[in-house]
Amino acid sequence: MAMKDLFITRSVADLVKEAEGAEGLKKTIGPFALTALGVGAIIGTGIFVVIGEGAKLAGPSLFISFILAAITCGFSALSYAELASSVPVSGSAYTFSYATLGELVAFIIGWDLVLEYGVSVAAVAVGWGGNVNEFLRAAFGFELPAAISTSPSEGGVFNIPAVFIVLVISVMLTLGTRESTTFNAVMVVIKIIILIFFIVVAFTAYNSNHFSPFAPDGFGGIASASGVIFFAYIGFDAVSTASEESKNPGRDLPIAIIGSLVISTILYVLVAIAAVGVAPVKLLSGSDAPLAAALRQGAGIPWAGGLLAAGALIAITSVVLVIMYGQTRIFFAMCRDGLLPRRLAKVHPRFGTPARLTLGFGVLIAILAALVPLDEIVKLVNIGTLFAFVLVNVGVIILRRTKPEMKRPFRVPFSPVFPIIGILLCGYLIAQLPWETWLRFVVWLVIGLIIYFSYSRKHSRVRTGEAAQLPSDPSA
């Protein structure tokens, strides 16, 4: 087997033609809903929790760490915008890699992302269950018993809230993309209003003395906090998984990818400044719910805990929806290409969604969220996402050289300089991850390689030359 055979690519023109054919997904998403998908994925537990972790490292200069993390993501966001607008096909980094780096690399990153998104959804669902109890305590003074609200590893029996939210979102995604994205847009608006409420109230009790000393551990502390905060920005890449369902991908996808990152950054920076202004860093870094603690103790608003817990609940719900949506679209693209069983990629004739695939993932993720301890495996999300960022930046550089004539509605400025900077920044963050994360990542990839060489290569449509034949599934 020749090495070149492993890196066979798919034609960009064929990918786009296939997506526009009868076997493609319905184009129902406009620019506002796309941007809301990005904001929905980014603004989740991060802003409600990670601000306390960042404060431990950066002190009052926390907002600078948010800006640095946004800049780090920004270079990769530009590359995502170019590829998503140029290759408007479901699959995100998987599809981009197939068109630029070849089948083997595409399978590896697709296999990786399926795990990362799945683990992320399960972990976020567990966090949703925890915030249900936080909200019930703050608003009504009671909580669900541990036996039905935590996993066995945490002393419970079955995490019912986590199962509930995963299954509800699965059904929503099955019934239709337009309905799901509309629901997400409503949740995004609500959680932005809650964050704006926090900012406004916090500034009424603002104390500039809290900003001294400004950077107790110097730039090293700011940079370390930036590494932690980076993961509060993960999610904008989920917008690219909606490429095929976008009404006008060439125009709308760059707006949504970059716009969601800009909106989230502005909110993050304002929240960070307001939080330090209303509460000392010691209070923020010592609380599991730093924003609620800031308003409750700093601004003297005792009912703030309930409101912020409600905001976190809404924020996490939209994250579950968007990340699960992204996972199903990546898996859908891999099945349609023949690298995984193609029957799973059948589109429901009425709903226009991959119904079997979506419901199947919903059940698997619900079981994972209900029973499996996720404390360590969640770190896999970090390395997988950064790995995808690297490949997308590499893809931009390669496509500029191999397909210079290709239509590019959006172009990364100063290429290849910006993509190279994106690669170096992501590489630096990957190097900071613990060896245990690397080990788990390698084990998962080895399993994927076994599947690739035993199944995927034999059934790959690009090798067999078979045209896409994915009729609607009347029995789905």
> What is the residue whose two structure tokens read 């269950």?
129
Q: Are 256 and 97 in contact (CB under 8 A)?
A: no
Average confidence (pLDDT) over 5-25: 70
Q: Calculate the alpha carbon distances from 230 to 15, 226, 449 in Å.
A: 32, 6, 30
Q: What does the pLDDT read at residue 23?
A: 55
pLDDT-derived band of residue 315, with 50, 70 and 90 as boundaries? confident
Residue 46 has pLDDT above 80, yes or no: no
Q: What is the C-alpha separation between 121 and 322, in angstroms, rounded?
A: 9
**Architecture, CATH, for domain 20-405+417-461:** Up-down Bundle (1.20)
Q: Are 349 and 261 in contact (CB under 8 A)?
A: no
Residue 473 has pLDDT above 50, yes or no: no
The residues, ordered by sequence, that sit 6+ positions from 230 with a Cβ below 8 Å of its Cβ are 69, 72, 73, 429
- % of the chain residues with pLDDT over 90: 14
Q: Per residue in 69-109, pLDDT tens?
A: 898 889 999 999 998 888 887 777 888 888 888 899 899 98
Q: Are 87 and 243 in contact (CB under 8 A)?
A: yes
Q: What is the C-alpha separation between 354 and 350, in angstroms, rounded?
A: 11
pTM exceeds 0.75 for this model: yes
Q: What does the pLDDT read at residue 274?
A: 92
Residue 194 has pLDDT above 90, yes or no: no
Q: Per residue in 225-247, pLDDT tens?
A: 887 777 678 777 778 877 778 88
Domain boundaries, the chain: 20-405+417-461
Q: Per residue in 115-151, pLDDT tens?
A: 878 887 887 787 777 778 777 877 777 778 877 777 6
Q: How many residues does the chain have?
A: 476
157 φ/ψ angles, rounded to the nearest 5 degrees: -115, -45
Average confidence (pLDDT) over 383-410: 87
Q: What is the C-alpha separation between 413 and 110, in angstroms, rounded?
A: 27
Residue 207 has pLDDT above 50, yes or no: yes
pLDDT-derived band of residue 423, with 50, 70 and 90 as boundaries? very high
Q: What does the pLDDT read at residue 369?
A: 79
For residues 283 and 470, the model is more confident at: 283
The residues, ordered by sequence, that sit 6+ positions from 375 with a Cβ below 8 Å of its Cβ are none
